[in-house]
C-alpha cells in the first residue's frame, strides 16, 4: 500500500535481511527496520513488531531463507521460528513453504518470495469476492487489524472494504479499538486514514449496542486459524462480536486465505490459544500532548491480569468464510471445498 509517496508491503527481503514496518510504533511513528539474524526475526514476531497471520507467515519464510543463506542448522532455526506465536497457523505454513529447499539457499529465497506473492494474490482475491457483500452506503464493523499490515498487501477483513471503495461504493467502517494491544485504533484506523475511508473508532464494548441499534450492516473479521469444522480463532473480543451480530440479525463473515485453514485441527477447542504478558492489560501506551510516546499503568500495583490473545468463534455464528477461492460455508464441507479448489 502507499504511504506518503512510496509503496510498501508489511515485510520484504532486503540485502540478506528481512525488512519490515515496525507496527509497535504506529500510528505515531512510521519506521522501517531490518532483522538480520534468526534471533531478530523471532523477536520481531514474538514482540509483535510485525503481526497478522499471513504477514507472520511471510516473515517466518524469509527468516528461514536467511538462515539457509547463513548456513545455520535447519532443525534449530525451524524450531526457534515455529515457537514464536502458537495460534497463527500461517507461521508454520510459511516455514513449510521454504523447508524443502533449505539445502539450496537460492531456492530457499525463491520459495520465500513465491510464498509472499501467493499471500498477496490471495488477499486481493479475498477482496474481490468479499466486496460483493458490501452495498454502497453500508457500514462495516471489524475487529483488530486485518488490513495490509496483517497480510502483506490488501488484507483479509479490510480487503473487501478496499475493493468496494475502489469500485466506487461509499463505505464507512466502525473500528473496534481492540484491547489490550489496540490494533484497531492504532493500525486499522491508521490504514483507513491513509486511504481516506470514512471510519470511527469504537470502544470494544460499544459495538454490540451499535449492532442492536441497526447502525452496522455487516461484520467482517480476519482469523489466525480456522479449524476443519469452520470454527475460527481470531483476536480476543471476536467471539462476543459474533454473538452480538447474531442477536442483531447482522451477517458475520470471517475473511482469511486458505493458508489459515488447519485441516489437522478438528474443532476450535483444539486450537492453542496464546497467553500473553500481564503488562499488556495493566499498562497502556500512547502519545502525550507533548508529542512523546509514554507508557502508563492503569491498574493498581497489586492487580494481576488474565490475557488470552485470541478467542474462538463457533462455526454456527459465522455466515461464511471469505477466501481466495470464493465464499464458502463455515462447515466441514465448506472447508473441504475451499481446500480442494
- What residues does each domain of the chain span? 2-124, 125-340
Which member of 217, 224, 231, 311 is catalytic?
224
> Do 109 and 101 contact (CB within 8 A), yes or no?
no
Question: What's the pLDDT score for residue 4?
Answer: 83
Distance of CA 39 to the CA centre of its chain: 22
Per-residue DSSP letter, 14: E
Cα dihedral 162/324/1/242 (nearest 10): 50
Say what percent of the chain tops pLDDT 70: 100
Q: What is the reported pLDDT for 335?
A: 98
DSSP 244-287: HHHHHT--EEEE--GGGB-TT--SGGGS---B--THHHHEEEEE
Find out whether 229 and 315 touch, Cβ atoms under 8 Å: yes
Rounded CA-CA distance 253/133 in Å is: 10
**CA angle (97, 103, 104) in 5-degree steps:** 85
224 is catalytic: yes
pLDDT in tens, 28-68: 999 999 999 999 999 999 999 999 999 999 999 999 999 99
How many CB atoms are located within 10 Å of the residue 188 CB? 31
| pLDDT for the residue numbered 35 | 97
The answer to whether 309 and 274 have CB atoms below 8 angstroms apart is yes
Where do the H-state alpha helices sit in the chain?
A: 38-46, 53-69, 74-82, 90-98, 105-130, 148-151, 159-166, 183, 189-195, 207-212, 238-248, 279-282, 332-340
Q: Residue 291 has what pLDDT?
A: 87
Three-class secondary structure of residue 102 per DSSP: coil
Q: Which CATH architecture has domain 2-124?
A: Up-down Bundle (1.20)
- Name the CATH superfamily for 125-340: Translation initiation factor eif-2b; domain 2 (3.40.50.10470)
User: Which position has the grid cell 454502497?
Assistant: 136
- What pLDDT is attached to residue 15? 84
Confidence at residue 304, expressed as pLDDT on a 0 to 100 scale: 97
* Dist. CA 149–CA 157, nearest whole Å: 12
What's the pLDDT score for residue 145? 96
pLDDT per residue over 152-168, tens digit each? 999 999 999 999 999 99
Residue ranges of the chain with pLDDT lower than 70? none
Q: How far apart are CA 328 and CA 331, in angstroms?
A: 8
Q: How many CB atoms lie within 10 A of CB 300?
A: 7
pLDDT value of residue 341: 79
209, 246 Cβ separation under 8 angstroms: no
The residue assigned the cell 526457534 is 80
Say how far apart CA 210 and CA 200 lie, in whole Å.
12
Amino acid at each position: 500500500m502507499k504511504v506518503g509517496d512510496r509503496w510498501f508491503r508489511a515485510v520484504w527481503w532486503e540485502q540478506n535481511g528481512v525488512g519490515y514496518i515496525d507496527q509497535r510504533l504506529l500510528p505515531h511513528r512510521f519506521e522501517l527496520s531490518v532483522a538480520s539474524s534468526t534471533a531478530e526475526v523471532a523477536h520481531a514476531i514474538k514482540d509483535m513488531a510485525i503481526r497478522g497471520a499471513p504477514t507472520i507467515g511471510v516473515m517466518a519464510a524469509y527468516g528461514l531463507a536467511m538462515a539457509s543463506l547463513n548456513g545455520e542448522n535447519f532443525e534449530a532455526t525451524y524450531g526457534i521460528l515455529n515457537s514464536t506465536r502458537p495460534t497463527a497457523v500461517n507461521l508454520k505454513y510459511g516455514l513449510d513453504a521454504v523447508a524443502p529447499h533449505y539445502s539450496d539457499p537460492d531456492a530457499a529465497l525463491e520459495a520465500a518470495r513465491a510464498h509472499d506473492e501467493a499471500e498477496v494474490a490471495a488477499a486481493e482475491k479475498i477482496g474481490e469476492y468479499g466486496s460483493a457483500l458490501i452495498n454502497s452506503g453500508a457500514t462495516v464493523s471489524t475487529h483488530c487489524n486485518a488490513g495490509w499490515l496483517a497480510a502483506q498487501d490488501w488484507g483479509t477483513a479490510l480487503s473487501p472494504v478496499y475493493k468496494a471503495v475502489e469500485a466506487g461504493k461509499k463505505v464507512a467502517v466502525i473500528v473496534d479499538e481492540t484491547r489490550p494491544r489496540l490494533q484497531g485504533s492504532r493500525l486499522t484506523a491508521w490504514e483507513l486514514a491513509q486511504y481516506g475511508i470514512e471510519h470511527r473508532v469504537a470502544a470494544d464494548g460499544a459495538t454490540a449496542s451499535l449492532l442492536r441499534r441497526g447502525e452496522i450492516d455487516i461484520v467482517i473479521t480476519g482469523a489466525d486459524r480456522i479449524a476443519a469444522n469452520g470454527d475460527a480463532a481470531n483476536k480476543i473480543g471476536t467471539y462476543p462480536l459474533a454473538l452480538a451480530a447474531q442477536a442483531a440479525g447482522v451477517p458475520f463473515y470471517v475473511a482469511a486465505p486458505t493458508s489459515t485453514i488447519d485441516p489437522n485441527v478438528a474443532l476450535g477447542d483444539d486450537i492453542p490459544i496464546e497467553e500473553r504478558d500481564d503488562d499488556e492489560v495493566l499498562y497502556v501506551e500512547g502519545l502525550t500532548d507533548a508529542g512523546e510516546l509514554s507508557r502508563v499503568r492503569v491498574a493498581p500495583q497489586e492487580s494481576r491480569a488474565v490475557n488470552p490473545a485470541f478467542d474462538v468463534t463457533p462455526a454456527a455464528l459465522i455466515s461464511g468464510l471469505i477466501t481466495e477461492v470464493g465464499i464458502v460455508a463455515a462447515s466441514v464441507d465448506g472447508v473441504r471445498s475451499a481446500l480442494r479448489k
